[in-house]
Structure 1
């Protein structure tokens, strides 16, 4: 389980959590009997093959999905994050930008929906894009961007909200090595600056090796890779 930091409450806690989906007369269990927690200083890579439940687990942690058994709670937040950009930021695996909005509008929108004034949200969006060297793309629509540019703008959208918990689902899966490295640089640096927790699901060993703690999923079950933790601590 993740390392406890003082007496701070967990950002998210899962106890005996399962998630099953019905498909006609059959049911598929994506996550089964998972117990884990994430705290503020954690840097966690969730690894495992496709279909092992990594994405489902992150969606449960984000409050985007509901467990069919067990309990997911957010002790540090006092309740579900309810899509608050100030609490939880999610970087999705596939394209997630709104096609009709340009880059700056895509980055600003979650903050506006969260109650930030439009002018302030736009200012923070510009700062987030500049941080990722994306200022030149502020007025570009998603279909005018490369896959790498679009994913970095999606990362900027999350970081602009200054969340306390960053959940990234295969954020580099569609990127080349250079763009993947750049995205991870920004995620790790931002988590450090915001004192936020960072949880990244990935197939890529080079991505997993950037993070201190390794969780491994197999068939919906979660194992804690103490050997990977020890190796990370030696780097």
Structure 2
């Protein structure tokens, strides 16, 4: 990658501090450490980006993806880590994907719902994290099932159980962890979507900033930095293959 000049740094981080929006709502990307500090793939990539730009790094943390996206779009953070979605793309310039994450359905063990195709039927009520990639995708795709919002992604299973809903939708790893913790639950076979996880900046920051960030992601994938981070954090997701822009 080319050296980062002062004009680009100013466009990327006008405050002189690189502010990264971290979403704790997706444990594949980021979690809290022993002392509450952010850790995970998002943190690793943000730290490397700050090092290359020779800027101090500040974490701006949120409990849900929608809030994280809104912070970047509003200029309250300089960049973030988001699932690509055309609705978000109205305000956010996305890089190429660096990670592929599966979305799955969780039901009670005794549920009559056996396959993903059984979910989109009249009378089925489905819990989803408000503003999450799953919410945006299922809002477009489901024609008959009722989507119930009102919780963050980590709280989806609790909402599903408390409100007597039929299905919980979310990150496969989160759902598996909740099923193991609570018992009496099962994951439906396969996934209902594969999320292309990308980095993103507000389009208002300009094309040069977006292009440079895309090149950064490409290098992280091409050189194996991302693959090693996936292995180190043991998240069970797939690093995206190198693709042409």
Same fold by TM-score greater than 0.5: no
Q: State the TM-score, normalizing by the size of structure 1.
A: 0.27
Q: State the TM-score, normalizing by the size of structure 2.
A: 0.26
